[in-house]
Amino acid sequence: MNRRLFSRCLRLGLIGAVLAAPAAQSADLLSIYRQALDSDAQYGSARYALAAGREKEPQGLSGLLPNVGATAYTTANDATVSYRGPTFFQPGSQFFNSSGYTVTLTQPLFRWQNWQTYEQSKLLVMQSEAQFAQSGQDLIVRVAQAYFDVLAAQDALAVAQAQKAAIDQQLAQAKRNFEVGKSTIVDTNEAQSRYDLAGATEIAAQNDLDTKRAALELIVGRVPGDLPGLRGDIALPPPQPPQVDRWVEAAQANNYLVKAQDAGVEAARRNVEINKAGHYPTLDLTAQRLRQDATGSVTFGVGSDTTQNSVGLQLAVPIFSGGLVNSKTREAAANYNRARTDLDFQRRSAAQNARQYFLAVTNGLAQVRAYEAAVVSSQSSVDSNKLGYEVGVRINIDVLNAQQQLYQTKQNLSRARYDTIVNGFRLKANAGSLSEDDIKAANALLGR
C-alpha cells in the first residue's frame, strides 16, 4: 500500500514539475535581434571601438591640466682632496652620502595647440558615437536580411517538397491511365522527368536552407530552430512619409555616416589650427620644490640640508624649424579639403540610397499585390487543368506546367514580401531612424 502510494506521489510530482517548467521560447525576429546585440562579433567590435573613441576627450583635456612630476636621487660619494698652494684645509679622503628630490608643477597658460586638440577630441568622440550608431542600424538590417533569407529558403524547400508531392500524384495517375489505355506513355515519361527534376530541386533547396541558417548563426552565435514566417493575411504598410523628397532630406541630415563625416571635417579643420600653432609662442606657469641632504662635502667636510621653492613663468618662442611647421600645415589643409569632399560625396550617396530604397519599397508593394492576384489566378489555372485532364481535354503536361507556375508564383510572393520589409529597414537606416520598434512591428507580422 505504501509502495503504491509512493509511486503515485512520484508520478504526480513529475507531472507537476513538467507543468511548472517554463515553456521553451520560440525564436522569432525580435528574440534573434536581441541575441545578436550580445553575440554579433561586428557589433561587439563596434562597441569596443566606441569605448576606445570616447577616451579621446580625457586625452585632449590632459593638455590643459597641470602636469606634476617628481624625481629623487641618492648618491654615495668617496672623495680624495688635495690642495695646491697655501690653505687652512687639510688634504685627505672623505666618504659621505647625498640625497634629494625635486617636485615640479607645470600649468599651461597659453598653448594654442593644446586647446585645439581638446576641441578636436570632442569631435572625434562625436564621430565614434555616430559610427557606433550606424553599426546599430546595420545590425538590424543584417539580422532582418539573414532572418528573411532563412524564411525564403524554408519557403523554397517547402515549395520543392509540395511540388514533388504533386508531381508524384500526377505520375501515379499517368501510370494508371496508361495501364487502362486512357493515355500514352508520353504522359508517364513527362511526369517521371518532372519528378526526378523536383528531387534535384529539393536537394538544392535543402542545401541553400542550411547555408542561410549558417549565415544567421554567424550573427547570433547559435543554430536557430524553426522560424515563424509571415502570416498570409498581412498587409505591408507603405513608407511614411510617402514623399521621396522627405526621405532624401532626412538622409542628408540624419544619416549616421554623414554625421560621422561631418564631425571628421570639423576635426580636420582643428588639425590645421593645431599645426599652425607651431608658429605661436607658449606660456607656462612653473612651480618647483627642491630638497637636498648631504652628510658631508668635499670642501668643508660637514653636512648640509637645502630646501628651495620657486615659482615662475616660462615663455618659449619658436623661431625656425626648417620649414616643418609650414609643411605640416599645408598637409593638414589638404586633408581638410579632402574631408570636405568626402562629406559631399557621403551626402550625395545618402540621397541616392534614399531614392533607391524608397522606390524598392513602393515597387515591392506593387509587386506583392501583383503576385497575390497571380496566386489566385494560378490556383484557378491548376484547378481547371486538373478538371480538363480528368475529362480528356487537357494532357498531363498542362497540369504539371500549371502546378509549377502556381508554386513559383507563391515563392515569388514570399520573396517580394521579405524584400519589401528589408528594403523598408534599409530606407529607415539610411535616414538614421531605424530602431527596435521597427523590429517589433515586423515581428508582429509573423505567425506559425
- Mean pLDDT, contiguous 10-residue spans, the chain (448 residues): 43 40 60 93 96 96 95 84 62 75 94 95 97 96 95 89 77 69 68 78 89 92 83 88 95 96 97 95 94 71 79 94 93 96 97 97 95 92 84 72 85 93 96 95 87
Burial degree of 416 (CB within 10 A; 0-12, 13-18, 19+): buried
Could you give the CA distance from residue 123 to residue 265 in angstroms, rounded to a whole number?
A: 9
3-state SS class at 102: strand
3-state SS class at 68: strand
C-alpha grid cell for residue 116? 585645439
Residues across the chain:
448
160: left (phi over 0), alpha (psi -120 to 50) or beta: alpha
pLDDT at position 224, please?
Answer: 77
pLDDT at position 304, please?
Answer: 74
Could you give the CA distance from residue 286 to residue 175 in angstroms, rounded to a whole number?
A: 104
pLDDT at position 79, please?
Answer: 72
Q: What is the pTM for the complete model shown?
A: 0.82
Residue 334's H or E segment, with its range, is helix 324-391
Angle between helices 436-443 and 112-179 (to 10 degrees): 10
φ, ψ (nearest 5 deg) of residue 279: -90, -10
Q: Which stretches within 180-291 are classed as H helix?
A: 185-220, 244-254, 256-276
3-state SS class at 184: coil
Could you give the CA distance from residue 63 to residue 55 in angstroms, rounded to a whole number?
A: 14
C-alpha grid cell for residue 12? 504526480
The answer to whether the CB of 336 falls within 8 A of the CB of 272 is yes
The answer to whether the CB of 156 falls within 8 A of the CB of 292 is no
The answer to whether the CB of 267 falls within 8 A of the CB of 127 is yes
Could you give the CA distance from residue 4 to residue 11 in angstroms, rounded to a whole number?
A: 11
C-alpha grid cell for residue 353? 540610397
The answer to whether the CB of 120 falls within 8 A of the CB of 274 is yes
pLDDT at position 164, please?
Answer: 80
* Boundaries of every domain in the chain: 25-63+111-280+318-447
Contacts of 177 (CB under 8 A, 6+ apart): 183, 187
The answer to whether the CB of 330 falls within 8 A of the CB of 272 is no
Task: Report how far apart the first and last C-alpha atoms of the chain are (Å, whole number).
Answer: 48
Could you give the CA distance from residue 100 to residue 7 in angstroms, rounded to a whole number?
A: 86
pLDDT at position 116, please?
Answer: 96
Which tens digit of pLDDT belongs to each residue from 100-124?
999 999 999 999 999 999 999 999 9
Q: Tell me the HSE value of 163 on the side-chain side, using a 13 A CA sphere.
A: 28
Which tens digit of pLDDT belongs to each residue from 138-156?
999 999 999 999 999 998 8
Strand runs labelled E in 269-334: 282-294, 304-316
C-alpha grid cell for residue 356? 533607391
Which tens digit of pLDDT belongs to each residue from 328-340?
999 999 999 999 9
Instruction: Using alpha carbons, select from 439, 412, 420 the residue that is nearest to residue 239.
Output: 420
Identify whether 108 is preceded by a cis peptide bond (ω within 30 of 0): no
Could you give the CA distance from residue 257 to residue 344 in angstroms, rounded to a whole number?
A: 12
C-alpha grid cell for residue 222? 547559435
3-state SS class at 255: coil
pLDDT at position 448, please?
Answer: 64
C-alpha grid cell for residue 379? 490556383
Could you give the CA distance from residue 293 to residue 74 in angstroms, rounded to a whole number?
A: 9
CATH number for 25-63+111-280+318-447 (one of 1.20.1600.10, 3.30.1330.10, 3.30.70.920, 1.10.3720.10): it is 1.20.1600.10
